[in-house]
Amino acid sequence: MVDESKNIELTEDDLANKSKGQLIKMAGQLRDRRNDLNQMASERASKRDDLNAKTREKVDEAQEHREQRDELNEQVQEHKEQRNELNAKANELFDKVEQLKSDMELDEGKDLEQLEDEIEQLEFKQQTEVLSSEDEKELIEKIESKREEYEQRKGKLEQNDDLEALVDEAEEVRSEASQHHQKVTELADKAQEHHNQMIEAYREADDIRDEADEMHESFVEAQEAADQHHEDFVRVQKRLRELDKEEEQERKSARDKKKEAAKEEAEEIYQKFKEGETLDTEDLMKLQKTGLL
């Protein structure tokens, strides 16, 4: 803000009624205040320009984060497409695995892991519980039956090379899909970081731009006040020139009147001279000054 209490106000009454000395003093005050305001305006313009430069830097920074975010999002999309394609392929392969198991009647009954658990439970029961001979015999037969079933199912699986190769392929494709999913997660996190940094840079740019706008308003205020003081200074200078002309005219008029009066007096003295009156030295000097002698 401009301290208006330091401003110099010039009115039409000042121009019309102040003395030449007062106007000269006022012209000096207007000039000094104008210079101060121009300096103030220059400093504020410089600060405004610095702030505008910082705003552009922040906008450029935000744009860089935007470009990096968009580039990462493109990579995310590429990895998503590859992941989805691989998952679809893995699903197809696992469907084929299940179909082969079905063809081999491996889908009927319990899987190997479940059979292993049941055998372990039965063996644990045999080892830890007190059983009658009949119950123990029955338990042993049950364990042997489970082992036989386990070996049969395991043998079918081991003997089927196509199934094993298909399972390996399906698991490999699923693993590759998981790697792409991991990439999706990593790249998406990085893209989000750049997005957040872009938002922050734009926010900072807005804050600095607001500060620059305020500084520009402050510059305009100081510049307008300086221009007004300059305009008033010019008006006072113009009035002083007018007063100088008036004074010169008054002096010229006074000189003309004085010459006219001297001429008239000399003519009267000359008339006396022609009439034979005796002239003193002062009268003779007056005649000489007017060229009548």
* The pLDDT value given to residue 260: 82
- For 230, the token pair is 């300059």
- Tell how far CA 126 is from the center of its chain: 78
Q: Which of 140, 146, 89 lies closest to 112 in space, CA to CA? A: 146
Mean pLDDT computed over 203-218: 97
CA distance 42 to 126: 100
**pLDDT(203) > 90:** yes
* The pLDDT value given to residue 44: 96
pLDDT band at 178 (very low <50, low <70, confident <90, very high): very high
CA distance 110 to 113: 8
Angle at the Cα of 268 (from 266 to 273), degrees rounded to 5? 90
**pLDDT(163) > 80:** no
CA distance 27 to 279: 55
CA distance 185 to 201: 24
pTM of the model: 0.60
CA distance 32 to 49: 26
Mean pLDDT computed over 9-30: 94
Q: Where are the domains of the chain?
A: 18-104+162-247, 108-159, 250-290
**pLDDT(73) > 70:** yes
157/3: higher pLDDT: 3
Mean pLDDT computed over 234-256: 91
Query: Who contacts 45 (Cβ-Cβ below 8 Å, separation ≥6)?
Result: 219
* The pLDDT value given to residue 176: 95
Q: What is the DSSP string of 26-44?
A: HHHHHHHHHHHHHHHHHHH
User: What percent of the chain is predicted at pLDDT more than 70?
Assistant: 92
Residue range 92-132, pLDDT digits in tens: 999 988 887 776 655 555 677 788 888 888 888 778 877 78
Residue range 217-232, pLDDT digits in tens: 999 999 999 999 999 9
* The pLDDT value given to residue 130: 79
Beta strands in 97-225 (DSSP E): none
| CATH code for the part of the protein at 18-104+162-247 | 1.10.287
**pLDDT(197) > 80:** yes
Mean pLDDT computed over 246-274: 81
**pLDDT(186) > 90:** yes
* The pLDDT value given to residue 138: 87
Across 143-147, 175-179, 270-274, the highest mean pLDDT is recorded for: 175-179
* The pLDDT value given to residue 157: 65
